[in-house]
């Protein structure tokens, strides 16, 4: 595969696409999308397994077709979130509740946190991203397990 195309055509970073595909395998996610300015790269796995699908749409903000027959989540299957400020994952990755294995978690249900305090870490592509409390308050719910793969915008913690 060639990284260089005709002038004016989008140049795809093949190494990044391969890293994203490996991240799909490592985390059992079905899709990853990365934006860099007006360029987007989306890597998705076929429903039911199989090889990843690679898509690199042009710089136009056109939506990429989603895989057909994706199983629909039923609203009744998702539990209601407790009232409060929901901290959501800003990225796709793996959630860690403590700084290292065996260490005390950053936040537990009932613990007090300060605005800006780290409440968990999301690892993405070997980078540890501290997720901080947007407000001071009491942790009402921790919605993920240590080492659990998380999706973009997935609720992680509720603070009241």
Looking at the structure, tell me whether residues 89 and 153 fall in a common domain: yes
Q: What is the mean pLDDT of the chain?
A: 76
Asked if residue 37 is part of any domain, the answer here is yes
Asked if residue 95 is part of any domain, the answer here is yes
Report the distance separating Cα 5 and Cα 124, nearest Å: 29
Residue 99 has pLDDT above 80, yes or no: yes
Asked if residue 7 is part of any domain, the answer here is yes
Looking at the structure, tell me whether residues 10 and 50 fall in a common domain: yes
Asked if residue 120 is part of any domain, the answer here is yes
Looking at the structure, tell me whether residues 118 and 154 fall in a common domain: yes
What is the reported pLDDT for 8?
57
Report the distance separating Cα 112 and Cα 83, nearest Å: 16
Report the distance separating Cα 67 and Cα 72, nearest Å: 12
Which residue range forms the structural domain that includes residue 32? 1-65
Query: What pTM did the predictor assign?
Result: 0.52
* Nearest alpha-carbon partner for 43 in 60, 62, 56: 56
Looking at the structure, tell me whether residues 88 and 150 fall in a common domain: yes
Q: What is the DSSP string of 67-115?
A: PTTPPPPPGGGSPPPPSSEEEE-SSSEEEESSSSTTSPPS--TT-EE-T
Looking at 31, 65, 99, which one is the last position of a domain? 65
Sheet holding 118-124, edge to edge: 127-132, 118-124, 93-96, 149-150
User: What is each CA distance from 77 to 39, 74, 150, in whole angstroms?
Assistant: 35, 5, 18
Looking at the structure, tell me whether residues 61 and 87 fall in a common domain: no
Looking at the structure, tell me whether residues 51 and 111 fall in a common domain: no
Kindly indicate the confidence band of residue 139, based on its pLDDT and cuts at 50, 70 and 90: very high
Among 28-42, 115-129, 130-144, the minimum mean pLDDT is found in 28-42
Looking at the structure, tell me whether residues 57 and 92 fall in a common domain: no
Residues in the chain, total: 160
Residue 4 has pLDDT above 60, yes or no: no
Asked if residue 23 is part of any domain, the answer here is yes
Looking at 34, 65, 96, which one is the last position of a domain? 65
Residue 129 has pLDDT above 60, yes or no: yes
Looking at the structure, tell me whether residues 8 and 61 fall in a common domain: yes
Q: For 41-98, what is each residue's pLDDT tens digit?
A: 777 766 554 444 454 444 444 444 444 544 444 444 456 777 788 999 999 999 999 9
Tokens 């057909």 belong to residue = 68
What is the reported pLDDT for 74?
47
And the tokens for 67? 């895989």
């Amino acid at each position: 595969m060639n990284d260089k195309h005709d002038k004016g055509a989008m140049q795809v970073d093949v190494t990044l696409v391969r890293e994203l595909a490996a991240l799909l395998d490592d985390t059992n996610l079905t899709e990853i999308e990365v934006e860099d300015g007006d360029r987007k790269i989306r890597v998705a796995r076929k429903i039911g397994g199989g090889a990843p699908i690679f898509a690199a749409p042009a710089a136009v903000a056109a939506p990429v077709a989603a895989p057909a027959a994706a199983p629909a989540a039923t609203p009744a299957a998702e539990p209601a979130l407790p009232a409060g400020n929901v901290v959501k994952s800003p990225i796709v990755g793996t959630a860690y509740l403590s700084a290292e294995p065996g260490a005390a978690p950053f936040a537990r249900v009932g613990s007090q946190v300060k605005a800006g305090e780290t409440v968990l870490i999301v690892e993405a592509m070997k980078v540890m991203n501290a997720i901080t409390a947007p407000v001071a308050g009491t942790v009402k719910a921790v919605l993920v397990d240590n080492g659990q793969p998380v999706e973009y915008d997935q609720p992680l913690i509720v603070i009241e």
